[in-house]
Amino acid sequence: MSTLTTNYLTPTGREEAWRFTPLKRLGGLHDGTFKLATRNTLALTSSAPTGITFERIGRELVSAESKTDDVIVGRIHEAAKEVSVLKIAANAELAEPISLYRLAGGLTDAELSRVQIRIGANAKATVIIENTGDHLIAEDIEIICEPGSNLTVVSLQEWDSKTIHAGRQHAIVDRDATFKSIIVTVGGDVVRLLPTVEFKGQGASVELLGVYFATAGQFFEHRMFVDHLVPNAKSRVNYKGALAGQDAHTVWIGDVFIRAAAEGTDTYELNRNLLLSDGARADSVPNLEIETGEIVGAGHASTTGRFDDEQLFYLMSRGIAVEDARRLVVRGFFNEIVSEIGNSDIQDRLMNRIDQELEKAGAK
């Protein structure tokens, strides 16, 4: 039993934010009934290039940059005595991505991890976080994009099958900055992520991209919140998911809020799901709230469908066997987003993983 004193109400499952989540499978992350682990598993893959620092800093020196009403994120901020801080110096231009990975974790106690990524003004970088192994983990990543910076964060959930992972990736995007998030979730038992964005300055631009593939019994939830609180910012959300197998369950929530002050906002969000078998369930809820009419554009779309018979017929009419035709169609479906990662080793690995998931599911 954790001794946390958080004031957050323990979710019951009736709350809007929790109504899809299987609370019983969260390992106690939501109600504090976990044993707190002392490990810090996030590590830099190779030594930091110039212009980069990655340090663990006592929390008294790292104030939170954002608020939250998520109980798990609240618990992380209470529990984590140190913060893993990745800093990219102003004006740095990194040719190679900064790569982070996971040290060995565990399932009997829970790691509550607080991370801050800060990119200085006019710097340009890509950060890749490769999540593997079996972990019980709650992690909050605050991403601070200073004016004119250009940051891509790729978060790969290639967890083993028992992982429970809940957390937030919260970007605060200042004037004329560009932020791109690519979240890939293909492994784990329960994964619940909140990719959230808070615009701090005008002229900023954000892309939230994601792919997920859930097979039998897996639960993957991605819950965006894009808060347009300043004028003239642009946001694009595009998540694509596939599901196959009994009780595969995915949830995509796209909350976009255009506040009264956010004139000139340009936003579009899209979620597409490919249901590859019976017994799987995809929930998809776009939600656009608009307080001003003075905007460039605002729209959303959500589709959930099965294999397109016409596409399969076309491929098969050229001699391609049905399994290969399905593989082509599924790879094609995900390619639009996977190709944005910009690293061919990772892209190939993910596409092979997607092939395996498809094979495992024996999708029809």
Partner 1 sequence: MSTLEIRGLKVSVDTENGPVEILKGVDLTIKSGETHAIMGPNGSGKSTLAYSIAGHPKYQITGGTVTLDGVDLLEMTVDERARAGLFLAMQYPVEVPGVSVSNFLRTAATALRGEAPKLRTWVGEVKSAMAALSMDPAFAERNVNEGFSGGEKKRHEIMQLELLKPKIAILDETDSGLDVDALRIVSEGVVRAKADNDLGVLLITHYTRILRYIKPDFVHVFADGRIVEEGGPELAEKLEANGYAEYVSK
The contact set with partner 1 (CB under 8 A) reads 309-311, 313-322, 324-325, 328-329, 331-336
Cα 161 off chain centre by: 18
Nearest approach in angstroms of CB 270 to partner 1 is: 13
DSSP 51: T
Sheet holding 281-290, edge to edge: 52-58, 82-88, 111-119, 136-145, 164-173, 190-199, 219-228, 249-258, 281-290
Cα 81 off chain centre by: 24
Nearer to partner 1 by C-beta: 43 or 322? 322
Helix axes 344-361, 322-338, angle to 10 degrees: 140
Nearer to partner 1 by C-beta: 63 or 317? 317
Closest CA to 343 of 6, 95, 73: 95
Buried b (16+ CB within 10 A) or exposed e, 215-251: beebbbbbbbbbbbebbbbbbbbbbbbbbbbeebbbb
Nearer to partner 1 by C-beta: 13 or 332? 332
Nearer to partner 1 by C-beta: 20 or 239? 239
Nearest approach in angstroms of CB 271 to partner 1 is: 16
Nearer to partner 1 by C-beta: 35 or 364? 364
Nearest approach in angstroms of CB 312 to partner 1 is: 8
Nearest approach in angstroms of CB 214 to partner 1 is: 20
Nearest approach in angstroms of CB 329 to partner 1 is: 7
